[in-house]
Amino acid sequence: MGNSHDSRDTIHLQNVEGASNSSGTQENAAIKKTVLVGVTGGIAAYKSCVLVRDLQKQGFRVKVAMTEHATNFVDPLTFRSLTHEQVAVGLFDDPEDPIHHISLADEADLFCVAPCTANFLAKLAYGIADDLLSTTALAMTCPIVIAPAMNIHMYENPATQHNMQVVSSRGIHIVEAGSGYLACGYTGKGRMAEPEEITSAIVSILNTPQDYQGKRVLITAGPTHEPIDPVRFISNRSSGKMGFALARCAHARGAEVTLVTGPSQLSDPAGVHVIRVETAEQMFDACDQNFEACDFAIFAAAVSDMRPARIHDHKMKKNNPEDDLSEIHLVENPDILKTLALKCTHQKTIGFAAETNNVLENARRKLDSKHADMIVANQVSETKTFGANNDEAWLITHNGETHIPETSKDNLANKILDAALKL
């Protein structure tokens, strides 16, 4: 079970101020969307009571589903008193609804799991459905938000980090855990985000504009691998996270998205047409075939500038006189952004500039030399840009520059999409 920063084992909030709704008619009339809050077995479950009230204040109808372990921390009666709705716990606890997990999923406009334990996160990542909450999650077609909460060592465990990457790549929104004193006695990252932060994320997602409806967006992501021989290749540190975030967010805003990605460990974003390639030439061919039909082309991939002129058909040996590993002749790869930008009829083209120094100066030069409409500039370091979940950027256009302070890549993706519409 997960741990948060409060050490109380069980809490009953049966007499919470405002739990009884005296203005039921007016409040119900304002409710437009349903948020299903999933509560799993961690001490942070008590904060879910506050989350429910915060969501109600935003005008949402709130229903609650719990795991059996969660009922050891907060009694279902508490949530029933707060929501005036039946609280779902078992797969067969509603005799009038023999397929309860499907009806719950159908009712929800958004599904929020808070707290989300390491165990439930793993179930989400691998599609395990062995109780009401996990079965309901698998039946969801609406947006999903999770707020992880657990011990710091559990949070930092490679398995947990991998699972978060998996669910994020599928479009599940993660409200990052905070740092502080945990119920287990440790201090560090793992405490569930505050209810107001989770509510803010939910409001933002449910109010996502459909301003890309009817638009076609072409996006590139990840690195390219340029083979030297059957074993070795030239590449870079790109993870593909930025391009995948752009694809997810553009799709969420109504766009028809084609994502051309180099080698990446990320899963295909839901609802996005994904073309997986290996080399820069393959990426160029895929982009060239899809460019004419698109309205926006966002080139977020870190494409290798050069490739070996010759690809050996055997593993090169340092002791083989015919295999000189000290000299590999390179030739230029196609310049995808520049070549396609010169073919524009109606398309808007956005490129990326990952720089280690003179970031703005190099980005401005790239904007002109590539004939792009916008360049997204990043400062590369050991902890920034490649592989990171957050990033800072500058949006450079012919009309000026906008600085985006460090934020999640999903938030940055939406800022880029906002700016693209203004081009």
Residue 25: the pLDDT is 38
Q: What are phi and psi of 25, to 5 degrees?
A: -65, -50
Residue 178: the pLDDT is 84
Residues 55/34, Cβ–Cβ less than 8 Å: no
Residues 94/100, Cβ–Cβ less than 8 Å: yes
Same fold, 24-206 and 216-305+328-421: yes
Residue 366: the pLDDT is 94
Question: How remote is the C-alpha of 382 from its chain's centroid?
Answer: 21
Q: What are phi and psi of 164, to 5 degrees?
A: -65, -40
Q: Binning pLDDT at 50, 70 and 90, where does residue 13 land?
A: very low
Question: How remote is the C-alpha of 80 from its chain's centroid?
Answer: 32
Flag whether pLDDT at 340 surpasses 50. yes
Residues 262/224, Cβ–Cβ less than 8 Å: yes
In whole angstroms, how far apart are CA 75 and each of 11, 72, 80, 407? 7, 7, 9, 37
Residue 385: the pLDDT is 59
What are the residue ranges spanned by the domains of the chain?
24-206, 216-305+328-421
Question: How remote is the C-alpha of 29 from its chain's centroid?
Answer: 33
Residue 30: the pLDDT is 43
CATH, range 216-305+328-421: 3.40.50.10300
Flag whether pLDDT at 250 surpasses 50. yes
Residue 131: the pLDDT is 94
In whole angstroms, how far apart are CA 3 and each of 13, 112, 188? 20, 18, 12
CATH, range 24-206: 3.40.50.1950
Active-site entry in 49, 116, 184, 294: 184
d(CA 145, CA 37): 9
Q: If you search the block for the tokens 């390179």, which residue do you land on?
A: 330
Summary mean pLDDT of the chain: 88
d(CA 360, CA 371): 16
Q: 126-143: per-residue pLDDT in tens? A: 999 999 999 999 999 899
- 184 in catalytic set: yes
